[in-house]
Structure 1
Amino acid sequence: MSQDKDAVDAITDQWFAVRPELDTAPMAVFGRIYRIAKAMGDAMEERYQRFGISRGEFDVVATLRRSGDPYTLSPRQLSATLMLTTGGMTGRLDKLEKAGLLCRKPDPHDRRGLQVTITDRGLALIDEAVTAGLEVQRAALTGLTDEEVAQLTGLLRKLLAGV
């Protein structure tokens, strides 16, 4: 099956012209992954703006939602899950608390700790936002069959495990 050449093909073709001995297969893979990630990141950011949150803020509220009832985690657990510094997490928590999407309370099991809990407003918002985000992602996959999506998922899982 022949496919149209894309911008990444143009780059690898240019490298072949000046350095034909190079194996640019990794560049072809990761160049596309980077471009897909950028395009999808931008699309998701745009979609979440409708809900008054950024993609990073979505991640915080979604992590609380995914944790299950009572939708509570410590700032440290959130930071670890989202691979954020505590400073970066504090900024997000401040903004989300001010927006009424979560609240921070003292941890009853640790006098020095806090617990972050999603509010009813945050719960309603994240349930809508995750559905809207999945619509964007689903639309991006429309050119693939279900079998191809499953194959791609498996290959990306294998690639991620290797890095």
Structure 2
Amino acid sequence: MSAAMDGGTAEVQPESTDGFDAIDRVEQDWRRERPDIDVSSMGIVSRIWRIGRHLEQHRKSQLVEFGSDRGTIDVLGMLRRSGPPYRRSAGELTRSSLITSGGVSQRLDKLEKAGFVTRHVDVNDRRRVDVELTPAGVELVDGLLSGLMDRDAQVLAQGLTPAEQRRLRALLRKLLLSLEPHDSEG
């Protein structure tokens, strides 16, 4: 979106020929009502929020279809990404996850009962518990990942060319790095 400021008024012009969306209309209304305020950031922030909500709903429905949920795939994914033997401490999982330690513990109980992980108490430090994916856990997370990535690629391809996706990925990375401290854990 480009906004041309001219004597306190702004005009919203779409960068493509796809036309205006709901955010363009909101920006236009605010520019009319409050021409003294630059509302151009709304064109980015509000779209990111709305896209995020759409993608979250899409992902949630996919995971339900696969009989899973976000917390479960987060834990399984962290273990699988660690490489053989697909093992991390429960503390590392808690620090790296987007859920509380209680939530991680509940997930681990559920995953252990289902046969997807095993827990091992460190003989030298009983406070440390390592969690390891079982072969069934590896198979589950690999199947989930493949299905999720295929569907995500389809969603993105509906709106963006491969070149546009690469550019968007770079711009979003740049913005995220400005908002979050560098995290070597990912």
The two structures share one fold, judged by TM-score above 0.5: yes
Q: Is the 8 A contact 2:71 2:99 kept in 1?
A: no
Structure 1 gaps, min length 5: none
Q: Residue 41 of structure 1: which of 39, 56, 60 is its match?
A: 56
User: Partner of 2:26 in structure 1?
Assistant: 11
Q: Is the 8 A contact 1:44 1:136 kept in 2?
A: no
Which of the pair has the greater relative contact order for Cα pairs under 8 Å at 6+ separation? 1
Cα offsets for 1:59-99 (capped at 9, x unmatched): 11011000000011111111111243312211222222222
Q: Residue 81 of structure 2: which of 44, 49, 66 is its match?
A: 66
Measured at CA, do residues 148 and 99 of structure 1 come closer, stay the same or move farther in structure 2, by a change above 3 Å?
Answer: same
User: Partner of 1:20 in structure 2?
Assistant: 35
How many residues align structurally?
163
The separation in 2 between residues aligned to 1:83 and 1:11, in whole angstroms, is 32
Measured at CA, do residues 109 and 37 of structure 1 come closer, stay the same or move farther in structure 2, by a change above 3 Å?
Answer: farther
Letter in 2 for 1:139: Q
Q: Is the 8 A contact 2:119 2:131 kept in 1?
A: yes
* Identical counterparts, % of pairs: 37
TM-score using structure 2 length:
0.81
1:86-101 equivalent positions in 2, closer than 5 A:
86-101=101-116
Structure 2 gaps, min length 5: 1-15, 180-186
Flag the structure with larger Rg.
Answer: 2
The separation in 2 between residues aligned to 1:119 and 1:145, in whole angstroms, is 38
TM-score using structure 1 length:
0.91
